[in-house]
Amino acid sequence: MNYSNSKYWDCCAPIAGLLLTLSFAPFDYSCLAFVALVFLYSSWQNITAKRATLRGYLFGLGTFGSGVSWVYISMHDFGGASVIGSSLLTGLFACFWAIFPALAGYFSVKIIGLNKGQGQIVLIPLLWILIEYFRGYWLLNGFPWLQIAYSQLETPLAGYIPIIGVYGTGFVVALTASIITDIILPSTRTYSSCNFRLGQLKHPLQYLFILAILWTLGGLLRHQTWTYEIGQPLSISMVQGNISQDQKWKPENKITTLLKYKKMTEEHWDSKVIIWPETAIPAFLDQVKESFLNPLENEARLHNTDLIISVPVQETTPLKNYNAVITLGKNQGIYRKSHLLPFGEYQPLQPFSGFVLDLIDIRLGDFTPGAALQPLLKAGGYPFITMICYEDAFGTLSRQGLPEAAYLVNVTNDGWFGDTIEPHQHLQMARMRAMETGRYLLRSTNTGMTAIVSPKGEILKLATSFQETVLTGTITPMGGMTPYGKLGDKPVIWAMVVLLLGLLLSKRIFN
């Protein structure tokens, strides 16, 4: 087949991108991640860098156009934008992030030249993950959505997560797809007498043997326990108020909201820890502290219960707004969200972003980030790591405070996205944080996906979405450290950079 002239590959690229979306929650067809990547890698064989860039971009349009379509709901249903404005923003959002698969295509073909040498089997996955890292960690405060490792939480490859995290596991996923591509399209490679060796891996059985080792090892590692129990089980209650985002901040609803959370809390004073979701209180802390929170705290102390409550905080000199979590009970403390959501809690690329949002009449939050390092909050007698909303998408944040932290708490409000795939994707990402750290995760939400997650990433309990309820259960405080908890992402990323440079400096990959 003449790859450079085949238009079928171009037309099918967005479909392959859609298949990648189907590998994530709530669909969870994890095998489709490999189908999508194998198609994409195959489409990059023996073509120009320009054509590979186009196919990567079309693939990205399929992935992000379907995978983040919930942006429209946020903008239109709850942001107040028009149909045209919301559609425009959602389209621009998908078009922007589609650039990154395009970059992977460009560099994969450009660096390898005419695609000669078996170094390509490793090089393409390296480029894919390093570009994922740039997208997910650096650019615009990071957008780690739809990273390929999240599609594999139920497969044997999940065994790698507590060791090498999202990027290392993603590399194994990409490497698997690259090896499969080489098996089914052997004619796309040419080898010289001084090609990349490692036993002259030309026979499909040798590749299958490597895949068997990778997947068997991952399966065995899933049974490995890295952390241990350090105390008695704690009884937990998480209040899901189910207050629609378009009603939450109306002044006339404030008292009703406060009384609802108070009543639902008083019905569970037998719990050691009670958690409210992100910005459960539709007012600043100083507006409700004396009249509402202080009496509630006194009652909590009488019942030997600790409260974890999310409330916005305003400081007046100078004027600063924080998205925060406070603890009430035996131990008082406050955590101010440090990793803010771009275009949601602050506007990057000013003044351009502000001009565009004003043009389509959308008003978004204006928050100040808290300090990168803050003291751990404590509830139920143990310190815990706090993650507010979007922060649970970053492994680096979930390991700050280890090994002292005994469990993780994530408060979020996915009510912004209605009944879409976003809350399911968000919970899937949060589950990886439990696996990376070897700790229980308590995830309290406003409208849905309130959950208790085990250190293995299993959903032990899940509240019904869009229902006023209190999710109760128990967790066990955990100690110890996973390898990822000790080292984080940097060793994996640096190893990839060194390996990439080694391949680039070796003439073998060009032979």
pLDDT tens by residue, 256-285: 999 999 999 999 999 999 999 998 999 999
Given the residues 278, 345, 391, 422, the one annotated as active site: 278
Question: Has 422 been annotated as catalytic?
Answer: no
Question: Has 337 been annotated as catalytic?
Answer: yes
The whole-number average pLDDT for the span 442-469 is 96
Kindly give, in sequence order, each residue whose CB lies less than 8 Å from that of residue 339, ignoring residues fewer than 6 positions away: 141, 142, 369, 390, 391, 394, 397
Given the residues 297, 337, 378, 422, the one annotated as active site: 337
pLDDT of residue 115: 43
Average pLDDT, the chain: 89
pLDDT of residue 118: 59
Residue 160 has pLDDT above 90, yes or no: yes
The whole-number average pLDDT for the span 240-265 is 90
pLDDT of residue 384: 98
**Long-range pairs for 263-268: beta carbons < 8 A, 24 or more residues apart:** 264/239, 264/468, 264/470, 265/237, 265/239, 265/296, 265/307, 266/299, 267/470, 268/237, 268/470, 268/472
Q: Between the CA atoms of 350, 352, 358 and 362, what dihedral angle is there, to the nearest 10 degrees?
A: -70
**pLDDT band at residue 207 under the 50/70/90 scheme:** confident
Residue 292 has pLDDT above 90, yes or no: yes
Whole-prediction pTM:
0.91
Residue 116 has pLDDT above 70, yes or no: no
Residue 170 has pLDDT above 80, yes or no: yes
Asked which of 69-83, 229-243, 311-325, 483-497 is least confident by mean pLDDT, the reply is: 69-83
pLDDT of residue 175: 97
Structural contact between residues 458 and 438, judged by C-beta atoms closer than 8 angstroms: no
**pLDDT band at residue 68 under the 50/70/90 scheme:** very high
pLDDT of residue 138: 83
Task: Note the pLDDT tens digit of each residue in 412-426.
Answer: 998 889 899 999 999
Given the residues 389, 391, 422, 436, the one annotated as active site: 389
pLDDT of residue 507: 56
pLDDT of residue 114: 42
> Can you tell me the distance from the alpha carbon of 223 to that of 86, in angstroms, rounded to the nearest whole number?
46
Residue 355 has pLDDT above 90, yes or no: no
> Can you tell me the distance from the alpha carbon of 144 to that of 394, in angstroms, rounded to the nearest whole number?
8
The whole-number average pLDDT for the span 321-329 is 95
> Can you tell me the distance from the alpha carbon of 315 to that of 368, in angstroms, rounded to the nearest whole number?
10
The whole-number average pLDDT for the span 173-184 is 93
Residue 395 has pLDDT above 60, yes or no: yes
Domain residue extents for the chain = 3-226+489-510, 228-337+366-481
Kindly give, in sequence order, each residue whose CB lies less than 8 Å from that of residue 42, ignoring residues fewer than 6 positions away: 181, 184, 185, 188
Asked which of 65-74, 187-196, 233-242, 385-394 is least confident by mean pLDDT, the reply is: 187-196
pLDDT of residue 137: 87
pLDDT of residue 201: 47
Residue appearing with tokens 């490597």 = 210
Between 159 and 109, where is the model more confident?
A: 159
pLDDT of residue 157: 98
Residue 511 has pLDDT above 50, yes or no: no
Between 324 and 358, where is the model more confident?
A: 324
Q: Is CATH 3.60.110.10 what the domain over 228-337+366-481 is classified as, yes or no? A: yes
The whole-number average pLDDT for the span 487-502 is 94
pLDDT of residue 341: 81
Residue length of the chain: 511
pLDDT of residue 60: 97
- Our CA angle for 500, 501, 504, nearest 5°, is 90
